[in-house]
């Protein structure tokens, strides 16, 4: 049975939906970050599959840049998270209501 | 053979990411996410993007997961995580978006018959060689911008989390400022 581009794209959508479920249901900010990593990886699969099936390198290039963005996001986000935890002692999303007007 | 590998890794990746999303223990989520990242690199190897697969393993399971593991040392990870209750409207919107995306994927090949490769693969060149040829000619400026972005992220991480590990940087500053204000008022 031949594996086509559709298979990879459907897998990418399934993983993206899993990540979206995680983003919606998580209240702990650390686990919310995990869900965003899943989203970025799902998109990476789609980029690599399209790149491979059309014989074009552009998809892989964008996947590289996505990985770079994900690494930066983790570094800055975890720094902010550690800072917030040291200030308040909790990383729940519902507790971050200090900016209400 | 390719089909067997694809379905095996597809099931493994889906299960691992479902564990990541649905578990109530942060440590289980971390290990399942690391396993899922490695399984995703298998797809890159299947697709002939060898360099991307190696980068996936090195960056995600090497760097990002180590960062998360170090970050989790700051938090209390032993207690179970309380989850928020999602509203029905949100679930409805999510399923709608997912269904629309699936439809778009099935329709896409009909529309995209006339797509031509912008930077086609060169015969006789390995994947790493082609990546280098495209990355250092057509995508040189994005590459440099990404390098600067990583430098900025590194400095931000050091400044935010690194300085005075036992004290809070911003909290201390607030206290000093409060004392100064009190002195001025007195």
The interface pTM score, or ipTM, of the predicted complex is 0.89
Higher pLDDT, B14 or A6: B14
A69 occurs within a structural domain = yes
8 Å CB contact between B3 and A1: yes
Q: What is the pLDDT at residue B158?
A: 83
Is A97 a domain residue? no
Query: How far B176 CA sits from the closest chain A CA (Å)?
Result: 15
- The 10s digit of each residue's pLDDT in A43-79 is 999 999 988 888 888 888 999 999 999 999 998 988 8
A10 in B contact zone (CB under 8 Å): yes
**Helix B26-46, helix A29-53: angle, nearest 10:** 10
Please indicate whether residue B36 or residue B88 has the higher confidence score (pLDDT): B36
Q: B169: exposed, middle or buried (C-beta count within 10 Å: 0-12, 13-18, 19+)?
A: middle
Question: How many percent of chain A have pLDDT more than 70?
Answer: 97
Residues of A in contact with B81 (CB under 8 A): 26-28, 31
**Closest residue by Cα to residue A72 from B1, B148, B87:** B148
Q: How deeply is A24 buried, as exposed, middle or buried, from its count of CB atoms within 10 A (0-12, 13-18, 19+)?
A: middle
Task: Give which of A10, A99, A8 is closest to A52, Cα–Cα.
Answer: A8
- Contact check, Cβ <8 Å, B135/A64: yes
> Is the sign of the CA dihedral B15, B95, B44, B8 positive or negative?
positive
Q: How many domains does chain A have?
A: 1
pLDDT in tens, B50-78: 899 999 999 988 888 888 888 787 776 66
pLDDT tens across B101-153, in order? 877 776 776 666 666 666 676 666 777 888 888 888 888 999 999 999 999 99
C-alpha atoms less than 13 angstroms from C-alpha of B56 in its C-beta half-sphere: 29
- Kindly state whether residue A95 falls inside one of the protein's structural domains: no
Tell me the CATH number at A67.
1.10.287.3510
Chain B residue numbers touching A54 (CB-CB < 8 A): 115, 117
Task: List C-alpha distances in Å: B57 to B14, B37, B53, B54, B126.
Answer: 18, 7, 6, 5, 19
Note whether A8 contacts B98, CB cutoff 8 Å: no
For tokens 């049975």, name the residue: A1
Smallest Cβ–Cβ distance between A87 and the set B29, B135, B168 belongs to B168
Say which of B18, B37, B150 has its CB closest to residue A68. B150
Q: How many CB atoms lie within 10 A of CB A66?
A: 15
**Strands (DSSP E) along B103-160, which ranges?**
none
Q: Which residue of A has its CA nearest to B168?
A: A86
Q: How many residues does chain A have?
A: 101
Residue B23 · residue B42 · CB < 8 Å: no
List the domain range (segments joined by +) for residue A42. Answer: 5-88
Classify residue B25 as left (phi > 0), alpha (psi -120 to 50) or beta.
beta
C-alpha B15/C-alpha A77 separation (Å) is: 26
Distance from CA of B119 to the nearest CA of A (A): 5
> What's the rounded mean pLDDT across residues B27-49?
91
Assign residue B48 a region: left if phi > 0, alpha if psi is -120 to 50, beta otherwise? Answer: left
Residues in A touching B86 (Cβ below 8 Å): 24-25
CB contact A93 to B (< 8 Å):
yes
User: Does A61 sit within 8 Å of B47, measured CB to CB?
Assistant: no
Q: Where are the beta strands (DSSP E) in B69-175?
A: none
User: How many helices (H) and strands (E) in chain A?
Assistant: 3, 0
Q: Is residue A41 part of a domain?
A: yes
Residue A76 lies in a domain: yes
Does a structural domain hold residue A94? Answer: no
Establish if A47 belongs to a structural domain.
Answer: yes
Domain assignment of residue A101, yes or no:
no
């Amino acid at each position: 049975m031949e594996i086509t581009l559709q298979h990879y794209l459907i897998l990418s959508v399934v993983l993206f939906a899993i990540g979206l479920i995680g983003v919606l249901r998580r209240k702990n900010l650390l686990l919310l970050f995990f869900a965003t990593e899943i989203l970025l990886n799902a998109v990476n699969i789609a980029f690599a599959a399209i790149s491979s099936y059309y014989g074009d390198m552009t998809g892989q290039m964008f996947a590289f840049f996505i990985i770079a963005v994900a690494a930066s996001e983790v570094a800055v986000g975890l720094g902010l998270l550690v800072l917030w935890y040291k200030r308040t002692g909790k990383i729940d999303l519902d507790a971050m209501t200090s900016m209400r007007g | 053979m390719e089909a067997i590998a694809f379905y095996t890794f597809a099931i493994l990746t889906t299960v691992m990411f479902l564990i990541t999303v649905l578990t109530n223990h942060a440590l289980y989520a971390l290990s399942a996410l690391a396993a899922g990242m490695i399984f995703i690199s298998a797809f890159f190897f299947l697709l002939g993007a060898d360099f991307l697969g190696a980068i996936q393993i090195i960056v995600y399971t090497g760097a990002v997961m180590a960062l998360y593991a170090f970050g989790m040392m700051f938090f209390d990870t032993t207690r179970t995580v309380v989850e928020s209750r999602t509203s029905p409207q949100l679930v409805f919107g999510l399923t709608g978006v997912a269904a629309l995306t699936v439809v778009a994927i099935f329709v896409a090949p009909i529309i995209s018959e006339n797509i031509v490769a912008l930077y086609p693969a060169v015969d006789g060149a390995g994947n790493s060689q082609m990546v280098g040829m495209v990355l250092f000619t057509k995508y040189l400026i994005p590459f440099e911008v990404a390098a600067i972005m990583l430098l900025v992220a590194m400095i931000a991480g050091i400044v935010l989390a690194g300085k005075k590990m036992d004290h809070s940087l911003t909290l201390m500053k607030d206290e000093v400022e409060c004392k100064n204000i009190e002195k001025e008022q007195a």
